[in-house]
Amino acid sequence: MKILLIEDEKRMSAAVSELLRQEGYSVDVADEGLGGYDAILKKSYDAVICDVMLPGMNGFEIVSAARAEGVSSPIIMLTAKSDITDKVTGLDCGADDYLTKPFQIEELLARLRALIRRNTKETDGLLNAFDLNLNTKSLNLICTSTNKEIRLPEKEFKIMEYLISNKGQIVSKEQLALKVWGYNNEAEYNNVEVYISFTRKKLKFLGAKTEIKSIRGMGYELRG
């Protein structure tokens, strides 16, 4: 999962970003408001952690402007103030949650996991990434930019389900093999590339802008 941390306190930024990476997240860091806002618009993040007091553009302005531009990534705001007015202001601007400094990293991680789960799986059984919707009930893959859809065979469905659930993150061949075929199945493990090729043909048929990119020596990444 890809996280954006917007925090101008260098020690806190370094500590939080390192802990997030240890938890398996891919982390981008911005140390001022305008740079953070620019990053939100240019990339797709699974979640954003944003401080309130920032140089150039404060957290409230960032969140409000990002929501006005259609950014749907869940946002946790960090504030040094326990004043209820600041918390209400942040939520009204479009933030999904807030933490008051100082906070325990375990609480931040728990809230982050909850927001990502909430944002990834919709109540209607859809997984979303870029211009793709994957219906987990019907196994249909839908392209929102062409309004075309196709029903995926089981293994291709599992591949797309895993890639969409981990959008913005590189997924290794080993991870896909375990997800799709399970443990102790070496014969099927060698077929990952074949089924990735099948899945890419489905995306081409749909006319999707989203692609499965091969990252040499590392695995695959879903990009829009």
Please determine, for residue 187, whether its predicted confidence score (pLDDT) is greater than 60: no
pLDDT of residue 17: 93
Per the model's pLDDT, the better-predicted residue between 189 and 157 turns out to be 157
The model's pLDDT over 63-116, given as tens digits with 9 standing for 90+, comes to 999 999 888 889 999 987 666 777 788 788 889 888 888 888 888 988 888 787
The model's pLDDT over 119-148, given as tens digits with 9 standing for 90+, comes to 655 546 788 888 999 998 899 999 999 999
The residue whose two tokens read 């075309």 is 148
Instruction: Tell me the pLDDT band of 182, cut-offs 50, 70 and 90.
Output: low
Please determine, for residue 189, whether its predicted confidence score (pLDDT) is greater than 60: no
Can you name the residues that pair with 30 across neighbouring β-strands? 6
Cα distances from 133 to residues 106, 144, 194, 212, in angstroms, run: 32, 7, 23, 15
Per the model's pLDDT, the better-predicted residue between 80 and 162 turns out to be 162
pLDDT of residue 76: 94
Arithmetic mean of pLDDT, 187-212: 88
Taking the C-alpha atoms of residue 43 and residue 219, their distance in angstroms, rounded to an integer, is 20
The DSSP code for 70 is T
Per the model's pLDDT, the better-predicted residue between 137 and 48 turns out to be 48
Neighbours of 78 (CB within 10 A): 23
Q: Is 117 exposed, middle or buried (0-12, 13-18, 19+ CB in 10 A)?
A: exposed
Output the average pLDDT for the chain: 86
Alpha-carbon torsion, ordered 186, 1, 29, 115, to 10 deg:
-160
